[in-house]
Amino acid sequence: MKQMTRVAAQDVETSTTEGPKQSTEAAIELGKEALRLGKRWRRQALPLTGIGATHAIGATASALSGPAALVPVAAGWAASAGAYGYVHQRASRWNRVYAGTAAVSSAGWQAALALDGSAGIAASLLWASGAALSIPWWVRHTEPEPDITAEKTSPAAHMALPAVTSGPDPRIERWDTYIGATGKALPGSNLKQVSELPFGWRGVVELNIGEHWHSIMKAQQTILSVYDLPDGRVFVEAIPGASVRTAQITVLTRDPLQAVVRWEKPQLDPATGTFPLMTTADGEMLHYRFWWPGGGATHGLVSGVNGSGKTKVLDLILTEAAASDRVYPLIVDGGEGASLPHWRDRVKLFAETPQDARKLLRYALRLMDRRRKVVKRQGGGSVEPSPDMPLIAIVMDEAHKLLMNDEDTGTDNGDVRRMCEKLAQEGRKYGIALVLATQVPSAKQLGGSTVLRDQLKGGTVVGLRVTERTSGNMISSGAPMPEGLHELPAVFPDGKPTRGLGYMLTERMMRARSLLIENPERQSITATRLDTDCASEAVPTMTGDSEDLFVDEQVSPREAESSSDDASEQLIEEAIEAGTHADPLSLMQATGLSLSQVRRALAKHGK
């Protein structure tokens, strides 16, 4: 009886201790979920937070009397001014105007609530007008931040390979019956050398003599149907060195690209000039290339519609560039500062207006002119990126807005195209890389420039999801693509967005997805310096006006006296003493200086 009593007492004690414990655990989980949702929807909640803070300040002031009521209002006004100052330094022009309007409105409503009270008509008008003012913000920020909590807490488990069964392979039997049989899609073809993959299987297809492996690509939809698979699960590739009537086929029974692969740290390899950018559907890492060792810089193109992940790809490229002591990034934001605002204070030059973009490009051309004599001194070849001679990477987001003529306003952007063409054609040798980002990968978006199209295709080309059927022409390398970029889905079967999904122009035309970089503005940067020759070039000011746009035009003697540099004058003097004729063209050829530098030096000496 006593034992039964003790057991009952223990049960009661256990139940009384487990109850609070379970409640505590539930509260912790609820708090974690609230933090997760708050982090994901923080941008959308920002206007409501501002309205609530305004209401609280006004209510506090109305509850006080005398001079004490001025304290919360003064603090609120200071906070509004500080918030605007923060945005003014880091945001685009549109956001600065919006933030200024919100700050002034908040200050006014704080005073109104202090006079009218927190429960009067002023409070109702505050929330109504605040909601109306929030509409433009909500329209621009309709999508929440990508939620990758699940991937962080429970990474994808390693899939064991299927067990090998005895007897005929059912996949080969199905191929022979529904694809290789007479009257089927690929009569006489054979599937062999089938091997397992963590997410599917791989094999070799052999066609009849006289046929080409491209015909397998045309039968892709049939193959998907035979193996009962959704779109985007079959990839056909040529086998290097093998007959054109054989090809490798990869069949995915599961899509590994649904899982997010996060960028962990900078991995730009100075020995190769590359860093990991995308992972293919079968697990291979694809690399972005900044330069070829001994071969100079390479250009790049990133394309994709809004929501495709294009900006995140640029963030990754810029983060790798900013973290390296061998890359000196410059940015042109064709979205007027709204595309890459978090990079404004992290690079030497950030152009967010068409006028500033022109100044930055002219500056890059002058740097290229200065490096001509570097190549000349080293006896030819190309610039090898190093801490003393870094690669100059010019990243242009929304480049189509600056390269295409604006028919609505009558703006001719031919000068921007010509400058970009010159940098693309000649920059490789002098360690200058051009990285353009457009909505679609077509020559039309490059202002119709076939020069830019051809030069960019020689570098790294990344094509993400687009909406136009004919816009994938710059991604194809000649072999047929498994699918058009317009056929890429906007969401995965689980409903998550396919940001970063696309193709890279390599010998492997297979679906891939870019690595996800979180908070690029928090990543460390390296204080890379230009080489001595380029560092002596005057840096333009990004003021949004047209000042200094035409520094390469005629220079008066007075202007020359104030802007000439000793190094250019010395080169000119040495060239003339060596017998070079004192005309600008001859001196440019002899010294490698630009026309403006030669004119300044000649004007200095009255020649």
**Local structure of 327: helix, strand or coil:** strand
CA distances 430 to 373, 384, 587, Å, are: 10, 9, 20
Half-sphere exposure of 516 (CA within 13 A, CB side): 20
184 marked as binding residue:
no
For residues 521 and 151, give the distance between their C-alpha atoms in angstroms, rounded to a whole number.
22
3-class secondary structure per residue, 536-555:
CCCCCCCCCCCCCCCCCCCC
306 marked as binding residue:
yes
**Exposed, middle or buried, 380 (CB in 10 Å: 0-12/13-18/19+)?**
exposed
308 marked as binding residue:
yes
Q: Say if residues 298 and 291 touch (Cβ distance below 8 Å).
A: yes
Instruction: Quickly list H helices, 67-120.
Output: 70-90, 93-116
Beta pairing, strands 200-206 & 300-303: unpaired
For residues 515 and 493, give the distance between their C-alpha atoms in angstroms, rounded to a whole number.
20
Structure-token match 């390599």, residue found: 506
The DSSP symbol for 488 reads S
For residues 489 and 527, give the distance between their C-alpha atoms in angstroms, rounded to a whole number.
40
382 marked as binding residue:
no
310 marked as binding residue:
yes
234 marked as binding residue:
no
For residues 607 and 602, give the distance between their C-alpha atoms in angstroms, rounded to a whole number.
5
448 marked as binding residue:
no
Cβ count near 468 (within 10 Å): 14
Half-sphere exposure of 366 (CA within 13 A, CB side): 25
For residues 477 and 491, give the distance between their C-alpha atoms in angstroms, rounded to a whole number.
27
CA distances 146 to 140, 150, 311, 495, Å, are: 16, 11, 13, 12
| H/E segment holding residue 130 | helix 121-140
What is the DSSP track for 494-545? TS-B-TTEEEESSS----EEEPBPP-GGGS--------HHHHTSPPPP--SS
For residues 126 and 199, give the distance between their C-alpha atoms in angstroms, rounded to a whole number.
56
180 marked as binding residue:
no
Annotated binding site for ATP: 304-311
Annotated binding site: 304-311
